[in-house]
Structure formats: structure tokens, C-alpha cells
């Protein structure tokens, strides 16, 4: 084979490899970036976002989800859950909540961030997932106004009528390190005021 054909073949191979690599390029977002984005979000500070986040994307994200920044404080961990050619989804663990964040990217920057769903963290792990702007979902932790009307802080202008659930009942778990005793407990009856009065009369 002539040498100039070998040069053409080499150039064509490099071009093919480059185009294939770019078409299969993975998003550039890493765990440390997500934690930094989460921290900037909890502080409502777009200027604290890492350099890979486009400034417009940072402002749009914080502006859209600002009402959740107080809940999604304490960025404990970020684990990748789904990856595509131009997107990646992370599960974010916060102090009281967990949420799925989706990042849309190009070859070298984050173009858009969205919170797909979130829920409170409980020991029973039985809280339902809900979308941030889903008006059909049940309130996470509604407040009660006079008259028994529940106001959901996550629904813009939305009020949900009282469902009859007693919101004063709160499920909780506890533990103790005290050992169980083999001796039955000794209980002493506390005399009632009536019996004390009768004893006084009998001794008078």
C-alpha cells in the first residue's frame, strides 16, 4: 500500500475515534461537584457554585427551588444513580431529607439542574416520594391554620382541606441501655385524699 494511503488511513482512524468518543462522552459531574452545588444551594449563593456550572444555570436553579433550601441543608453525601450521554442523576442525602437531582450537561459544563423528587428521612423508610411542584401530592409537613385548614408550603398558593388526620400524633422510636430485672417491681399504693380524711376522722 502506498505511503500516502497509510497517512490517509491514520488520519481517518483518528477522526473516527474522536467523533465516537465525543458521541459517547459521559457527563463531567462528580460527587465532589454535587456536594459543592448542594452547599451553595443551601446557602442560596449561586456564586459558590463550582466552575463547571454555568452562571445562568446556577441562578435559575436557586431561583426555582429556593423554598427548599432550608429543608435540604446539611449535604451529607451524593451517590450517582443514573447516567446518560448528556445527563446524570444523583441521590443527595441531607440531614432531614433525601432527594434526586438531575444535571443536564454539554461536553464541559452543567447547563441545567432540577430536583426530581424528595422525601423526609425516617427510620421506617416509609415516607412517599414527591415532586417539588406536584400539587396532587400530599403535604410533607403542613402547617395548620385556625379552622383546621392545612397549608402546604411547597404548593404555590395551594390550600388542602383538613383530611381528618390528627397531626398532633407523632410516631417516634426510643431505646434504653437499662438491663431487665428479675425482681418484680414493688409498687406502693398512694392514699387518696378521701381515705386520708377518713383516717383523720377516726383518730379524732
Q: Is the pLDDT of residue 124 over 80?
A: yes
Write out the CATH class of domain 31-132.
alpha beta
C-alpha cell at 9: 488511513
CA atoms within 13 A of residue 95's CA, in its CB half-sphere: 8
Q: According to the model, what pLDDT value does residue 48 have?
A: 93
Question: Is residue 76 within 8 Å of residue 132, measured between CB atoms?
Answer: no
Decide: helix, strand or coil at residue 10: helix
Helices and strands counted in the chain (H then E): 4, 7
pLDDT digits 0-9 by tens, 108-119: 899 999 999 999
Q: According to the model, what pLDDT value does residue 103 have?
A: 96
Pairing of strands 77-83, 97-105: unpaired
Measured CA angle at 192 (ends 189, 197), to 5 deg = 130
pLDDT digits 0-9 by tens, 28-74: 889 999 999 999 999 999 999 999 999 999 999 999 998 888 888 88
> Looking at residue 76, what DSSP letter applies?
-
C-alpha cell at 115: 430536583
pTM of the model: 0.56
Q: Is the pLDDT of residue 12 over 80?
A: no
C-alpha cell at 192: 387518696
In SS3 terms, 85-118 reads as CCEEEEEEECCCEEEEEEEEECCCCEEEEEEEEE
Measured CA angle at 127 (ends 176, 34), to 5 deg = 100
Q: According to the model, what pLDDT value does residue 116 have?
A: 93
Rounded mean pLDDT, 119-130: 89
Question: Would you list the domain boundaries of the chain?
Answer: 31-132, 137-173
Question: Is residue 112 within 8 Å of residue 57, measured between CB atoms?
Answer: yes
C-alpha cell at 110: 452543567
Q: Walk across the sheet containing 143-145 and list its strands.
A: 143-145, 149-151, 159-160
Burial class from Cβ neighbours inside 10 Å (0-12, 13-18, 19+) for residue 35 reads middle
Q: According to the model, what pLDDT value does residue 13 have?
A: 58
Q: According to the model, what pLDDT value does residue 50 have?
A: 94
Amino acid at each position: 500500500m502506498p505511503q500516502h494511503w497509510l497517512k490517509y488511513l491514520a488520519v481517518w482512524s483518528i477522526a473516527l475515534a474522536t467523533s465516537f468518543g465525543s458521541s459517547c462522552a459521559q457527563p463531567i459531574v462528580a460527587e465532589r461537584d454535587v456536594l459543592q452545588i448542594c452547599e451553595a444551594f443551601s446557602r442560596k449563593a449561586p456564586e459558590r457554585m463550582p466552575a463547571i456550572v454555568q452562571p445562568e444555570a446556577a441562578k435559575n436553579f436557586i431561583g426555582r427551588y429556593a423554598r427548599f433550601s432550608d429543608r435540604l441543608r446539611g449535604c451529607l453525601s451524593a451517590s450517582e444513580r443514573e447516567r446518560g450521554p448528556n445527563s446524570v442523576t444523583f441521590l443527595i442525602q441531607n440531614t432531614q431529607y433525601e432527594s434526586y437531582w438531575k444535571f443536564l450537561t454539554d461536553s464541559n459544563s452543567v447547563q441545567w439542574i432540577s430536583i426530581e423528587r424528595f422525601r423526609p428521612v425516617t427510620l421506617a423508610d416509609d415516607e412517599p416520594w414527591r415532586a417539588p411542584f406536584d400539587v396532587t401530592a400530599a403535604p410533607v409537613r403542613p402547617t395548620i391554620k385556625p379552622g383546621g385548614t392545612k397549608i402546604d408550603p411547597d404548593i404555590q398558593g395551594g390550600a388542602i382541606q383538613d383530611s381528618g388526620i390528627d397531626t398532633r400524633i407523632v410516631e417516634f422510636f426510643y431505646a434504653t441501655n437499662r438491663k431487665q430485672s428479675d425482681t418484680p417491681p414493688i409498687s406502693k399504693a398512694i392514699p387518696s385524699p378521701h381515705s386520708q380524711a377518713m383516717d383523720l376522722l377516726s383518730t379524732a
